[in-house]
Amino acid sequence: MRTRWVVFVAAAMLAGAVGGALLSPAPVSAVAKEIIELQRDVQLLLQAQRDLQRSVDEKHAVQKTLLEQQLDAVSKLNITMGALQKTMQDVQANSGARLDSMSTQVQGLADNLEEVKARLGKINQQLAEMQGTVQSLDSKISGGTPVPGTGPASGAPPAAPPSADVLYSNGLRDITGGKYDLARQEFFDYLKYYPDTDLASNAQFYLGEIYYAQKQYKEAIGEYDKVLQNYPKSFKLAPARLKRGMALLELGQKAAAIREFREIVRKYPGTEEERRARAKLKELGATTTPALPR
């Protein structure tokens, strides 16, 4: 359409120029020169029109390419979002099992810190006892008194049990390493020889954790019960109740498990165990408090 308009204008200009030349008294050579110049102008206009059309076509092609690239990017983004959503769903589905498997390791690390604190408190006492023993031996040797157990008639003393620190550390190391049978024996020995220490309730709790990890849920409940009954001031009370409720759930005792989770919400607000108990109640379709009878 634009080409036709340019040609039409050029033709009109040419016709006007010819008519003017015919009507004017200008010489023939001048008229021919003007016609040639008009023809050249028309050619220039036509070339400019062709250049403009080519520029428009090129820009259109570029825009089309950019649009196709954007559509391709959107398609790839949709695929990526779909894969990410599926991954999130898989993570949510497996989060409960992963939390259970990680909780023992996390608590083991926390108890290692508690153990370090306890050891620091005992170091000075042990050093003082060792110093007193050395002084006693020195005084006996200097006074000529034979040291008990060194004479020819003395018998071999019974082997002493491993220290509390060694037993507890070995138990933590083996339970976090998945050596459950070995860890069970170490925690049993700890409770046998050192039932009244600050870490005794931890050892009792880990016996329940070992049974739970081995899917012996009834035995695990028995060990968790000992924590609740024998160590009323232990900081393992909330974890023991939570794992007791989960063991009940594994045994199919849903109503008992719900009661346990509700008790955690009531007794231990603001704790990680309360948060997990609320999540379990929601998962089971139960409220945090029992419904009142009508």
* Contact predicate 261/277, CB 8 Å: yes
**Is residue 120 one of the residues assigned to a domain?**
no
* Contact predicate 166/86, CB 8 Å: no
Q: pTM of the entire structure?
A: 0.52
Least confident of 76-80, 97-101, 232-236: 97-101
**Is residue 106 one of the residues assigned to a domain?**
no
**Is residue 293 one of the residues assigned to a domain?**
yes
Q: Do 167 and 50 share a structural domain?
A: no
Q: pLDDT tens across 127-138, in order?
A: 445 544 544 444
Q: Do 293 and 168 share a structural domain?
A: yes
- Residue located via tokens 């071999």: 156
Q: Do 194 and 72 share a structural domain?
A: no
Residue 55: the pLDDT is: 78
Q: Do 184 and 79 share a structural domain?
A: no
How many domains would you assign to the chain? 2
Assigned token pair, 273: 């165990």
Q: Do 294 and 182 share a structural domain?
A: yes
Residue 4: the pLDDT is: 55
When the pLDDT of each residue in the chain is averaged and rounded to a whole number, the result is 77
Q: Do 168 and 58 share a structural domain?
A: no
**Is residue 114 one of the residues assigned to a domain?**
no
**Is residue 98 one of the residues assigned to a domain?**
no
Can you list the pairs that 40-46 forms with residues at least 24 positions away whose Cβ atoms lie under 8 Å?
41/10, 41/13, 42/6, 42/7, 42/10, 42/13, 42/14, 45/6, 45/10, 46/3, 46/6, 46/7
Domain-ending residue, one of 18, 49, 84: 84
**Is residue 272 one of the residues assigned to a domain?**
yes
Asked whether the predicted pLDDT for residue 120 surpasses 60, the reply is no
Q: Do 176 and 55 share a structural domain?
A: no
Q: pLDDT tens across 227-251, in order?
A: 999 999 999 999 999 999 999 999 9
Q: pLDDT tens across 194-204, in order?
A: 999 999 999 99
Cα 211 to Cα 126, 176, 184, 207, 271: the distances in Å are: 35, 14, 9, 7, 24
Q: How far apart are CA 220 and CA 208, in angstroms?
A: 4
**Is residue 72 one of the residues assigned to a domain?**
yes
CATH of the domain at 210: 1.25.40.10
Q: Do 184 and 70 share a structural domain?
A: no
Domain-ending residue, one of 39, 66, 84: 84
Query: Which domain range does residue 8 map to?
Result: 2-84
Would you place residue 37 in the very low, low, confident or very high pLDDT band (cuts 50, 70, 90)? confident
Domain-ending residue, one of 67, 84, 101: 84
Q: Do 167 and 294 share a structural domain?
A: yes
**Is residue 277 one of the residues assigned to a domain?**
yes
Would you place residue 288 in the very low, low, confident or very high pLDDT band (cuts 50, 70, 90)? confident
